[in-house]
Amino acid sequence: MCGIVGYVGDGQASDILVRSLKRLEYRGYDSAGVATCYQNRLFVEKDSGKIEEINNKLGLDTLPGHVGVAHTRWATHGAPTKVNAHPHTDCTNTIAVVHNGVLENFMQLKKELTDLNHTFVSKTDTEVIPHLVEEGLRAGESVEQAFLKALRKLEGSYALAMISTSEPDKLYAARKEAPLIIGVGKGFNMVASDITALLDMTQEMVFLHDRDMAVISKDSYRIIKIDTGEGVERPVKTVAISVETAEKQGHPHFMLKEIYEQPQTLRDSLRLQQQYLDLLAELLDKGRVIFLVGAGTSYNACLAGSYQLSQLARLPSFPVIASEFIPNYGSSLGADTVVLAVSQSGETADVLTALDFARMRACTILGLTNTVGSTLTRVARAYILQNSGPEIGVAATKTFTSQVLVLAQTALRLARLRGKIAQFEMDEFKTELLKIPRIVEEVLMKTSVKVKELAKALMSKPFIFILGRGISTSTAYEGRLKIMELSYIPCIAYPAGESKHGPISVIEESVPVVFVVPPDEYRKLNIGSIMEMKARGAYAVVLGDEADSELMELADFYIGLPKTHPLLTPITYAVPFQLIAYHLAVMKGYDPDKPRNLAKSVTVL
Ligand code: M6R
């Protein structure tokens, strides 16, 4: 997501910070800024746009002083504007903070601080932090005490760096569920969210642990546990890797990095802005006809979402491929129609064209996107952000699992609003939602060897057949898209029940058929389909529950996965498909980050 850097030392902070910020550009960002401290004054410059342009316009690298913080922003709360860009400051303009992460309780903190006469200028969650510290300073606390106290009030994820004119030779930093590293130098120390920002300056690094805070000056640093306030030692490690390897966090490709990031991105996608989720649920509830519209992977998420809306909230909806929306439904739209558009980029031309058309017919437009400030956020009456951070690989991976998770939360909210399911069912589903990041972590750990073996077995196959039933149809479709767009092996995917109506005729000796069989109400029927295919010579690959010995026995190749709620299986069962697709591409010598003929965002019709 956002990139943060801090510096304290003998050099000119702003110059070093801007160079480090440029090292973070690969992460994707919409705005940037720098704050320094000099002669008891804070200097802050920031804007939306590219670092080079902002620097040319505002002279970010000319700010005076030997201590400073800097930021590249990927918007999550508030549009990508100058005022929302970091660093953020307090009322007295003496404290500057940069932040990467999502604060869940910022609305409540903002209200409390506003009641105490603090003035806010941005729409960000981050801005509460300098004001919380200011509040502590007002009460006579030291900067360290005030910072620690503020951290203890924050719920959500953060990597933070802060400077204050009260202590112009110090840099404060802290982390919770977002990485933060101290770069140890001679005559300086730094802090950054990403080792790429430090590699130019030093290879000696200290990796802060979760809920660590650090007080850093040019010749020393102290680390303190946020929960207990006690000091702690963390080892200094020599990081001798190239910038290119560091950008991918040690993974050979961005796609693999993004697949492995999913436990964290899913955690962030559970931290939605509740008032927007409520609004989305209310507006969906008002519609007479509901469409879920998306393209590619986002369409597959719509398909999963339609099962969730129907089964949890008892709300039927039409999942529609964006380019087919006008031809199929254009003539039936009206003021009682709600269109929920799902688009990672928020810029897909097929989606925007469908929305334009729907808007002209007075439909209510809603959005789910990963990109603040995108066209979708401007045309939607209400939208929700999935908080997955920038995705560099062309293939959608972490953004798919987050889309499904956000749609599941929307369906649950709607179920509550409509009073359609029992309290215990809602509670159970909520518990399962919260477990998802950990289960995906488990999936990644448990399947890493098997997916490679399977990719080897599939590598020379002329085509692959994928089947799912119920919500697993969306998993099968997403598996098909991943494998096809990355390995260029033609794939077909069908709802399993449909295969006997034609597709089964392609089955002959050793044709690979991948079955998505979570332990849901369709398991028995799926076993029937596996038998059917095997009887015709198919090589049966089964993705099923890790404890399902019957399926294991039946399969020619089995990938066992941990249990979750059936409506959340598109998340957990999509992960092995992502990995299989990745390994197929690598084994075949293709670049998984840039599949041929494809663009990350398709802005043409
Ligand atoms: O930005 P969007 O979610 O609207 O993009 C939609 C599709 O172009 C996108 O999902 C595409 O299918 C990806 N290559 C899938 O990996």
pLDDT at 280 exceeding the cut of 90:
yes
Task: For residue 294, give the H/E element and its range.
Answer: strand 289-294
pLDDT of the residue at 25: 84
Residue 26: which pLDDT band, with cuts at 50, 70 and 90?
A: confident
pLDDT at 132 exceeding the cut of 80:
yes
Ligand 1 centroid–CA 584 distance in Å is: 20
Give the residue, out of 258, 344, 406, with the most ligand 1 atoms within 8 A of its beta carbon, to mutate for a pocket test: 344
Query: Does ligand 1 lie within 6 Å of residue 321's CB atom?
Result: no
Query: Does ligand 1 lie within 6 Å of residue 298's CB atom?
Result: yes
pLDDT digits (tens, 9 = 90+) for 507-523: 999 999 999 999 999 99
> Phi and psi dihedrals of 345, rounded to 5?
-80, -30
Task: Dump the DSSP string for 56-82.
Answer: HHH-GGG--SSEEEEEEE--SSS-S-T
pLDDT of the residue at 546: 98
- Contact 302/419 with Cβ under 8 angstroms? no
Residue 543: which pLDDT band, with cuts at 50, 70 and 90?
A: very high
Q: Tell me where in the chain the CATH 3.40.50.10490 domain(s) lie.
A: 264-587
Measured between alpha carbons, how far is 548 from 558 in angstroms, rounded to an integer?
10
- Contact 389/265 with Cβ under 8 angstroms? yes
Task: Locate all alpha helices (DSSP H) within 518-587, ordered by sequence.
Answer: 523-535, 549-554, 569-587
Report the chain's terminal Cα–Cα distance, integer Å.
Answer: 29
What fold does the segment set 3-247 form as a domain?
Glutamine Phosphoribosylpyrophosphate, subunit 1, domain 1 (3.60.20)
pLDDT of the residue at 601: 77
pLDDT at 541 exceeding the cut of 80:
yes
pLDDT of the residue at 28: 77
Identity of residue 307: Y
Ligand 1 centroid–CA 591 distance in Å is: 17
Residue 24: which pLDDT band, with cuts at 50, 70 and 90?
A: confident
Whole-number mean pLDDT of the chain? 95
Q: Tell me the pairing of strands 557-561 and 181-184.
A: unpaired
pLDDT digits (tens, 9 = 90+) for 146-167: 999 999 999 998 999 999 999 9
Q: Which atom of ligand 1 is nearest to the CA of 399?
A: 3
Q: 145: burial class by Cβ within 10 Å (0-12, 13-18, 19+)? A: middle
Residue with CA closest to ligand 1 atom 4:
343
pLDDT over 70 percentage in the chain: 100
Give the residue, out of 292, 388, 602, 603, with the most ligand 1 atoms within 8 A of its beta carbon, to mutate for a pocket test: 602
Query: Does ligand 1 lie within 6 Å of residue 395's CB atom?
Result: yes
pLDDT digits (tens, 9 = 90+) for 342-353: 999 999 999 999
Residue 490 token pair: 């033609």
Q: Tell me where in the chain the CATH 3.60.20.10 domain(s) lie.
A: 3-247
Query: Does ligand 1 lie within 6 Å of residue 297's CB atom?
Result: yes
pLDDT of the residue at 389: 84
pLDDT of the residue at 195: 85
The reply to whether 225 belongs to the active site is: no
CATH number 3.30.70.1230 is the correct assignment for the domain at 264-587: no
pLDDT at 84 exceeding the cut of 80:
yes
Q: Rank 416-420, 421-425, 468-472 by mean pLDDT and report only the highest.
A: 468-472
Pairwise pLDDT comparison (119 vs 600), residue with the higher score: 119
pLDDT digits (tens, 9 = 90+) for 474-490: 999 999 999 999 999 99
pLDDT of the residue at 327: 97
pLDDT of the residue at 248: 84
Query: Does ligand 1 lie within 6 Å of residue 578's CB atom?
Result: no
pLDDT at 530 exceeding the cut of 80:
yes
Instruction: Give just the sign of the alpha carbon dihedral 131, 137, 141, 143.
Output: positive
pLDDT at 603 exceeding the cut of 80:
no
pLDDT of the residue at 310: 97
The reply to whether 110 belongs to the active site is: no
pLDDT at 265 exceeding the cut of 80:
yes
Instruction: State the Cα angle at 131 between 129 and 132, rounded to 5°.
Output: 65
Burial 71-94 (b: 16+ CB within 10 A, else e): bbbbbbbbbbbebbbbbbbbbeeb
Query: Does ligand 1 lie within 6 Å of residue 484's CB atom?
Result: no
Pairwise pLDDT comparison (26 vs 563), residue with the higher score: 563
Ligand 1 centroid–CA 597 distance in Å is: 13
Residue among 124, 605, 14 at smallest CA distance from 325? 605
Task: Kindly report the number of other CB atoms within 10 A of residue 521's CB atom.
Answer: 9
